[in-house]
Amino acid sequence: MVATHKPEHEIVNCDLVDDKLKNEINTELEKSGRHNFDWAADENELALVNGQDNKANNDNKKPMFLFGFRDLVWTNIVWLTILHVIFVWAFIYTLLEPIKFFTVVWGGLLSVGTALGLSVGNHRLWAHRTFQAKPLLRFFLLCLQTATMNGSVISFARDHRNHHKWSGTHADPKNPDRGFFYAHIGWWLLRKRPEVIEYGKKIPIDDMLEEKMLVFQHRYYLPLMFLSAFIIPVGVPILIWNEHPFISLGSSVIRILLVLHHFFAINSFAHFYGHHPYNRYQKPTENQIINWISMGEGHHNYHHTFPFDYCNSEFYWWEKYSPASLFIEVCILLRLASKPKKPSKALIRKVGEAKGKPEYFAMIDKRSLPKRIAIGLFDWLAGMFVTQWPLWIGLVFKVIDGRPTIVF
């Protein structure tokens, strides 16, 4: 039997949301096509935020390139442009020049670690409170999250709660209705709409303000980010195994941008491409490739339906590629994490059959245990291969071109 931690609660509410959720979940289903249960806005709130008239709704659907000059945030545009230029240069440079074995290992460890900082820390722990964590684990995840350049936990989690509650409205900071590019990274280049700020203030963040280390990170974010994302990761290879400074800087920029783009793809690709088995009325999708490159965050149709699930998926870690879920399970075994939340299978089926695609559940419920394990094994192998795609490009190029692949 495959060992899987049994959640303490079968059907639970997120601590930060309406306590009546458990009883009202089915009523909510009937009432609205939007099922962001933990942050769900009701029909009146949605009408308010979208504007009562059609003009406002149409305005909301304008593509992102319809913006005013004053909406541009030039510091972010310049900073991200510089990083992307370095990225392209560094990628070519590392293909042509020898890169030391330990620099590749260092980059790989930091990629996995910082991605877990985003998935387990930023998203599942702080934005959604899907489990509880001891201070040691919270500190570890916070250090990794700081090294991702994805903003402070408090600002990310507030915006993310906004994204769930006001999904696809004026108040959604990453509104996919403003276009693919806007949902991916365009939101970072433009000022927030007034609705995002106004409704963002109504999102509860008291739980985060009570955590001193989150407040400290928020207050000193820029120096902490530069220290953990650039100075330490670039300095270690130069000082310890004598890596060329250009290679060390370049590989750090590659790592930061790849991890960010892999996670930004959840807001873009996983809101545009994929299927909707859990709720066919909402935009977020189940996307296999995004799941492979984001540590198991690609079950986005499920996630917008059950945001409080610590697996971010109906499936446990052994059934689908999800290093983030496995990491949480290990932390539970080590007593660093506790109280993981997960809806019961009966509730998932009830919701899916009412609003999703019943034929999907008829298919997956037929799977025997050996078949589920085999699917999980294949998915893990595929995920570990796909998520390292830049490494394979470099390796194949160097082998074809006759360049050394491992240099000590």
Only one residue has tokens 């490159």, namely 293
CB of 5 or CB of 174, closer to Zn ion: 174
What is the footprint of Zn ion within residues 280-339 (CB under 5 A)? 284
- Smallest gap from residue 170 Cβ to Zn ion (A): 16
Handedness of CA 212, 214, 218, 221 (dihedral sign): positive
| Rounded Cα–Cα distance for residues 240 and 251 (Å) | 16
Closest residue to Zn ion: CB criterion: 284
| Rounded Cα–Cα distance for residues 46 and 346 (Å) | 29
Burial of residue 388 (number of CB atoms within 10 Å: 0-12, 13-18, 19+)? middle
CB of 110 or CB of 295, closer to Zn ion: 295
- Residue 63 φ/ψ, nearest 5 degrees: -65, 160
Tokens representing residue 2 in the block: 């495959």
Instruction: Name the nearest CA neighbour of 124 among 366, 268, 248, 295.
Output: 295
- Smallest gap from residue 123 Cβ to Zn ion (A): 6
CB of 126 or CB of 292, closer to Zn ion: 126
Neighbouring C-alpha atoms within 13 Å toward the C-beta of 378: 7
What is the footprint of Zn ion within residues 245-284 (CB under 5 A)? 284
| Rounded Cα–Cα distance for residues 86 and 93 (Å) | 10
CB of 167 or CB of 217, closer to Zn ion: 167
Binding mask 43-72 for Zn ion (x = CB under 5 A): ------------------------------
Tokens representing residue 369 in the block: 């245990």
Residue 339 region by backbone torsions, left for phi larger than 0, else alpha for psi between -120 and 50, else beta: left
CB of 168 or CB of 237, closer to Zn ion: 168
- Smallest gap from residue 174 Cβ to Zn ion (A): 7
- Smallest gap from residue 160 Cβ to Zn ion (A): 6
Tokens representing residue 57 in the block: 């709704």
- One-letter identity of residue 10: E
CB of 284 or CB of 323, closer to Zn ion: 284
CB of 248 or CB of 287, closer to Zn ion: 287
- Smallest gap from residue 75 Cβ to Zn ion (A): 26
CB of 151 or CB of 284, closer to Zn ion: 284
| Rounded Cα–Cα distance for residues 131 and 328 (Å) | 9
CB of 107 or CB of 298, closer to Zn ion: 298
- Smallest gap from residue 400 Cβ to Zn ion (A): 39
- Smallest gap from residue 213 Cβ to Zn ion (A): 21
Contact partners, residue 222, CB within 8 Å, separation at least 6: none
- Smallest gap from residue 271 Cβ to Zn ion (A): 6
| Rounded Cα–Cα distance for residues 155 and 351 (Å) | 31
- Smallest gap from residue 318 Cβ to Zn ion (A): 23
Contact partners, residue 42, CB within 8 Å, separation at least 6: 31, 32
- Smallest gap from residue 189 Cβ to Zn ion (A): 19
Q: What residues does 299 pair with on adjacent strands?
A: 286
CB of 28 or CB of 297, closer to Zn ion: 297
What is the footprint of Zn ion within residues 145-184 (CB under 5 A)? none
Residues in the interface with Zn ion (CB under 5 A) total: 1
Handedness of CA 292, 293, 296, 301 (dihedral sign): negative
User: What is the distance between the terminal CA atoms of the chain, rounded to a whole angstrom?
Assistant: 43
Judged by the rule CB under 5 A, the positions of this chain that interact with Zn ion are 284
